[in-house]
Structure 1
Amino acid sequence: MDSSDLGITPPPEAGLIRVARMARGLSPEAAALQTPIRLGGARWRHIERGYEPKRPPKKVRAPDTTLAHMAHVVGVSPDRLAEVGRETAAVVLREILRQHAEGDDQVREQPYADMSDRLERTAWEMPLDVEQRKLIVDMLRQARAQGQQERSA
């Protein structure tokens, strides 16, 4: 079902984010994994559609910080966000870009953890350095492998 069928028009920034994501060849899930904030693929889709599929459908508009991080992942400029009326999100995005250019933020790499696994995702999101998080994930994997070996014996 399309949002227009429901009488809900997605905000202009939703279309901008969707087209930019598609141009990068990313699924909503892959794009969401690249954000440093907690954002899932389903929520990304809700923001792009402009509604959450409930009964009745619930309008969705991304908070400025969330939108700025989404825009950063898909390569939307602060000026383009401002053009669609999201000036505050544009200010946040400019700061993200400034920090990234100056090396203030941690280098983001693809998560080492399986983000679909609750325990590995929790370990990966801990406020530790990357090497410590990798160690915890490795320990979880070893414990699981050992448990599987014991059960099969």
Structure 2
Amino acid sequence: MTAPPHRAPAEASLIRVARQARGLSPEAAAQQAPIRLGGSRWREIEKGYKGTGRQPVIAPDLTLAHMARVVGVTPERLDDVGRDTAAEILREILRQEAESDQAPARPYADMSDRLERTAWEMPLPVEERKLIVDMLREAKAQGRQERSA
């Protein structure tokens, strides 16, 4: 007998499609979340299971809210898939960001630039990736100055 195919929860599919639309790997997306979350855990949540035994995985509300924030899923869309508590947490995250005038979590790098995107997706802490992107920008600016002289 074969086990029936596993179907990921609706919210997991929503997160996966939104992440893919942003051009982020699970690792890059997880690094942008302000909570402790790794790329492998992100993948488990998107698939809706872990391990070869396909143990079901449902994202806790707090985790799902932060994942949604990273990939641009709105609270209304979380409501639509039945994750009301996660939607309310996401509303609060957005409310706090608006109150503090904090910019939304976005990549520091220009994702249309191949080198900056590669640097941004490296498995390093955010501050180190920012440093690498700054060094790339400095080198580009220096190259432009030398060519114009």
- TM-score normalized with structure 1 length: 0.65
What do the CA deviations read for 1:5-55 (whole angstroms, capped 9, x no partner)? 75322110000000000010000000000000000000000000000024x
Distance 1:62 1:85, change over 3 A: same
Distance in 1 separating the partners of 2:5 and 2:100 = 44
Where does residue 90 of structure 2 map in the other structure?
A: 93
Between the aligned residues of both structures, percent identity stands at 60
Moved over 3 A (4+): 104-110
Matched residues in 2 for 1:58 and 1:74: separation? 25
- Paired residues, what number? 116
Among residues 72, 77, 89, which one is paired with 1:75 in the alignment?
Answer: 72
2:21 to 13, 20, 23: 23
Q: Is the 8 A contact 1:8 1:59 kept in 2?
A: no
- CA RMSD of superposed structures (Å): 2.8
Q: Which has the higher contact order (CA 8 A, sep 6+)?
A: 2
**TM-superposition CA deviations, 1:35-78 (whole Å, max 9, x none):** 00000000000000000024x22100000000000000000000
